[in-house]
Structure 1
Amino acid sequence: MFGHLVCALISFIIGTLLLPIIKQQFNPPPSVVQTITPHMTAPAAKFPTESPIALVLQNHRFNPSNFTVPAGKRFRIQLTSHDPSVDEFESYDMKFEKIVTPNTTITVYAGPMHPGTYSFFDDYHPEDAKGTVTVETGDQDNVR
């Protein structure tokens, strides 16, 4: 009997106390982000000012599945998931991984990168959801 009480108490603590705290740490409410953001300072050169590359994840496929960026510049990828399941947007080459829940949008930063082709994928569906980023030098106006 004592064991059942301990299990019930642990379930209660996890479900009502710890789970909301964990969710808040990984996805803070806008009011927290707005409160913190004005006080944060960072060199402007580290964050891209151009519009983000917009990706959509639907039916475990990225659209577009490949895009081009200029060499030597930091860039932003904004991913919107229309998958019914949780996905993990990841790239070993560009050194990011981020969980994306259904019907949400996340942003990741990458670069600056040397010319070449770099891969990204959904770690939960790697055979279906994969893509590449081509990093090129040259005419910066034609890159995207």
Structure 2
Amino acid sequence: MRFLLPLLAVLCLSPGAHADDMPTYLLRIRDGRFSPESVEVVAGQRFRLTVSNDGPGASEFESLELRKELVLAPGVTRSLVFAPMKPGSYRFFDDFHPQTGQGRIVAH
């Protein structure tokens, strides 16, 4: 048990252990549209996506591929943390606005 304490200290102090060190990307939803429609991220790196609903009604960020879903009331901002992604394009959408609420995360 005594040898676990130094290991835990190293893990807690390592650079990757702090969520504030993660890159953060902003995504706004207004009138059923995402802005920007395409979010470019670095492949192989964890990141935070902060989603803000600037519109008058409920909105949603959902990605079946990435297994993420976030429903936002008007004026609400919340964040999601994503595991490192392989290079590629990952679709997301807003179920409340299926015709206009389409976007993608592009990892490269």
TM-score > 0.5 by shorter chain: yes
Q: What pairs up with 1:28-67 in 2 under 5 angstroms?
A: 44-45=16-17, 47=19, 49-67=21-39
Tell me, yes or no, if the aligned pair for 2:22 and 2:46 is still in contact at 8 Å.
Answer: no
1:54-109 per-position Cα deviation (integer Å, ceiling 9, x unaligned):
11111110110102111111111101111111112111111110110101101011
Q: Higher relative contact order at CA 8 Å, sep ≥6: structure 1 or structure 2? A: 2
How far, CA to CA, are the matches of 2:50 and 2:84 in structure 1? 17
How far, CA to CA, are the matches of 1:65 and 1:122 in structure 2? 12
Higher strand share: 2
1:108 paired to 2:80 = yes
How far, CA to CA, are the matches of 1:127 and 1:45 in structure 2? 39
* TM-score, normalised via structure 1 length: 0.60
Tell me, yes or no, if the aligned pair for 1:61 and 1:128 is still in contact at 8 Å.
Answer: yes
Tell me, yes or no, if the aligned pair for 1:48 and 1:75 is still in contact at 8 Å.
Answer: no
Tell me, yes or no, if the aligned pair for 1:61 and 1:130 is still in contact at 8 Å.
Answer: yes
Call closer, same or farther: CA 1:45–1:127 in 2, change over 3 Å: farther
How far, CA to CA, are the matches of 1:131 and 1:46 in structure 2? 28
Unmatched segments (≥5 aa) in structure 2: 1-11
Call closer, same or farther: CA 1:48–1:83 in 2, change over 3 Å: same
Q: CA RMSD in A?
A: 2.0
Higher helix share: 1
1:119 paired to 2:91 = yes
Unmatched segments (≥5 aa) in structure 1: 1-40, 137-144
- Of residues 70, 74, 78, the one that matches 2:46 is 74
User: What is the CA distance between 1:121 and its match in structure 2?
Assistant: 1.0
Call closer, same or farther: CA 1:119–1:48 in 2, change over 3 Å: farther
